[in-house]
């Protein structure tokens, strides 16, 4: 049995004051959660949110991590910095990083290696663009991204990773993959993990769906056997909506 994991990706939203307001509203609403709950917040919010969520069921994540320990990497944030601020999870390879900031399978791999070496729990994002889905390339794209991300990573480390399957055409667009599309592609991703690391790692790995997941579609998506939770963008910015999704995931 895989324990579901619901993670919010706040992206570049919420000042420290706003983050305190959102988390203060959220905590009582998710106190009986039966899944793992994470909020991946802007770097500047991590310490404040970690302080507020201490002793609760909500863990704090970052949205990226540097591949190096320290040094001349302007604007990057190291794993040690994230941990000191209170993050325990980190999103790696989000499609917005890949699209707008030049993230490649190689840099995703380097960041994944670094997160795992430092005991941060990675949420690795993979997923195809609309033209790739329409061109019948969904599986090829997901395979390339998964194989590239895990290059040189041991089975023991891979097992600590959560994968988020996020079709790029469904992110922030209000379009959701159908339950069947999401289930099928996540099943395919699990088969790639099985090829790389064997059945035990593949069967134990939590693979989320992400892409306009909300209070209306969460039940159908979570009822799918391959889907182990969600990475939630827009709907994670409202305490009621995010709490609804969390409480729907058992």
Query: Annotated catalytic sites, by residue?
Result: 94, 166
CA 5/CA 161 separation, integer angstroms:
12
The residue of the chain with the least Cβ separation from ligand PEP equals 233
Which member of 35, 207, 213, 227 binds ligand PEP (CB under 6 A)? 213
Residue 19 makes contact with ligand PEP by CB under 6 A: no
Q: Closer to ligand PEP at the Cβ: 163 or 197?
A: 163
Min dist CB 68 to ligand PEP, Å, is 25
Strands 207-210 and 5-9: unpaired
Helices (H), 135-178: 138-149, 155-158
Q: Phi and psi of 151, rounded to 5°?
A: -55, 125
CA 170/CA 1 separation, integer angstroms:
28
Build a one-symbol-per-residue string for 107-146: x at contacts with ligand PEP by CB under 6 A, - elsewhere: ----------------------------------------
Q: Residue 227, Cα to own-chain centre: how many angstroms? A: 13
CA 226/CA 229 separation, integer angstroms:
9
Residue 212 makes contact with ligand PEP by CB under 6 A: yes
Which member of 123, 124, 193, 231 binds ligand PEP (CB under 6 A)? 231
What residues contact residue 214 under an 8 Å CB cut-off, 6+ apart? 176, 232, 234, 235, 241, 245
Which member of 132, 166, 228, 241 binds ligand PEP (CB under 6 A)? 166
Residue 211 makes contact with ligand PEP by CB under 6 A: yes
Q: What letter does residue 236 receive in the DSSP assignment? A: G
Distances (CA, A) of 110 to 82, 94, 106, 151: 16, 14, 6, 9
Min dist CB 11 to ligand PEP, Å, is 6
Residue 101 makes contact with ligand PEP by CB under 6 A: no
Contact of 65 with 85, CB cutoff 8 Å: no
Residue 19: CB atoms within 10 Å: 21
Residue 216 makes contact with ligand PEP by CB under 6 A: no
Residue 222 makes contact with ligand PEP by CB under 6 A: no
Which member of 28, 172, 198, 204 binds ligand PEP (CB under 6 A)? 172
Residue with tokens 């507020």: 52
Residue 40 makes contact with ligand PEP by CB under 6 A: no
Contact of 95 with 125, CB cutoff 8 Å: yes
Choices 20-28, 58-66, 133-141, 233-241; region in contact with ligand PEP by CB under 6 A: 233-241
Min dist CB 103 to ligand PEP, Å, is 14
Question: Within 181-210, which residues bind ligand PEP (CB under 6 A)?
Answer: 210
Interface residues with ligand PEP (CB under 6 A)? 9, 11, 166, 171-172, 210-213, 231-235
């Amino acid at each position: 049995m895989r324990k579901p994991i619901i993670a919010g990706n706040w992206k570049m939203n919420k000042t420290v004051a706003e983050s305190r307001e959102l988390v203060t509203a959220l905590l009582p609403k998710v106190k009986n959660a039966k899944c793992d709950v994470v909020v991946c917040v802007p770097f500047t919010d991590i310490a404040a949110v970690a302080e507020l969520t201490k002793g609760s069921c909500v863990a704090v994540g970052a949205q990226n991590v540097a591949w190096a320990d320290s040094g001349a990497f302007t604007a990057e944030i190291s794993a040690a910095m994230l941990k000191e601020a209170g993050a325990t999870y980190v999103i790696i390879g989000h499609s917005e990083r890949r699209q707008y900031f030049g993230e490649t399978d190689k840099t995703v791999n380097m960041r994944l290696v670094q997160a795992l070496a430092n005991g941060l729990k990675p949420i690795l994002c993979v997923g195809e663009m609309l033209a790739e889905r329409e061109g019948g390339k969904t599986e090829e794209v997901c395979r390339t991204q998964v194989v590239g991300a895990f290059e040189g990573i041991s089975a023991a480390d891979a097992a600590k990773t959560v994968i988020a399957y996020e079709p790029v055409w469904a992110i922030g667009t209000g379009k959701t993959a159908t339950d069947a599309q999401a289930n099928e592609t996540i099943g395919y991703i699990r088969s790639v993990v099985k090829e790389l690391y064997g059945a035990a790692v593949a069967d134990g790995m939590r693979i989320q769906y992400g892409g306009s997941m909300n209070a209306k579609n969460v039940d159908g998506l979570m009822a799918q056997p391959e889907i182990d939770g969600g990475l939630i963008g827009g709907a994670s910015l409202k305490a009621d909506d995010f709490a609804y999704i969390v409480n729907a995931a058992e």
